[in-house]
């Protein structure tokens, strides 16, 4: 199965010295408060290893602390997990029914206890395979722009394509249309399929591709 990169909202959290700002401030604030109330100023020294641990975690994933917070926020109901034999989530929120209601009890646990993603999903309905409508009644669609091989194009050709692109955007100046661009850079693994009759050349080709470590090659994808 082909693996596709997951772009987490196409955003990056603000950072302080390579650590996300919010968890950094919370961690340092907790250490300072503990040192203040315990009257032990040496506890402040723990902020140094904590900082480097958080920085090492952030190098693995810029969103690791946000994912940890979401994991705690969407804690699954143990009864639901035992019933479905797997963690379950809902896209909608349900209100709790009063105990004196006449509705029959059809489940061992209430649907209101299920964690839901309603607040995190800004979309309301799917119009077709490529167009969605948001909760603010705005239509949204996304295209991946292939671009051109600008390294091989001359300056005149690039200027012409640039002018055409500017004219396209100007034609929507009086229309209720907004454009958002996202430039995503991520790791890929790519190689040419080669076959040599010469064993020496085949060995050089193999060692050449082995010299690339996993994640060394990077690719930029532009989305509109």
What's the rounded Cα separation, in Å, for the pair 204 and 156?
Answer: 40
How many residues would you count in the chain?
Answer: 224
* Rounded-to-10 torsion of CA 162, 164, 165, 169: 140
Distances (CA, A) of 168 to 97, 171, 187, 216, 223: 54, 5, 32, 36, 16
- C-beta pairs of 76-83 under 8 Å, 24+ apart in sequence: 76/114, 76/115, 77/109, 77/113, 77/114, 77/115, 79/108, 79/109, 79/113, 80/109, 80/113, 80/114, 83/107, 83/108, 83/109
pLDDT of residue 30: 92
Residues of the chain with pLDDT under 50: 1
């Amino acid at each position: 199965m082909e693996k596709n990169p997951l772009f987490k909202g196409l955003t990056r959290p603000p950072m302080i010295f390579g650590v996300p700002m919010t968890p950094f401030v919370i961690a340092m604030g907790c250490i300072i408060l503990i040192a203040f109330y315990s009257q032990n100023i040496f506890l402040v020294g723990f902020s140094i290893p904590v900082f480097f641990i958080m920085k090492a975690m952030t190098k693995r994933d810029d969103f690791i602390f946000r994912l940890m917070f979401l994991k705690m926020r969407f804690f699954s109901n143990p009864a639901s997990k035992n019933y479905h034999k797997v963690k379950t989530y809902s896209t909608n929120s349900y209100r709790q029914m009063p105990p004196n209601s006449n509705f029959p009890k059809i489940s061992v646990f209430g649907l209101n206890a299920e964690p839901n993603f309603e607040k995190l999903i800004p979309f309301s309905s799917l119009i077709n395979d490529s167009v969605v409508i948001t909760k603010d009644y705005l239509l949204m669609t996304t295209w991946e722009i292939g671009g051109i091989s600008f390294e091989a194009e001359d300056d005149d050709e690039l200027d012409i394509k640039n002018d055409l692109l500017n004219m396209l955007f100007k034609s929507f100046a009086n229309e209720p249309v907004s454009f958002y661009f996202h430039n995503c850079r991520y790791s890929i693994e790519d190689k040419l399929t080669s076959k040599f009759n010469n064993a020496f050349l085949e060995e050089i080709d193999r060692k050449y591709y082995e010299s690339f470590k996993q994640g060394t090659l990077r690719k930029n994808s532009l989305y509109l």
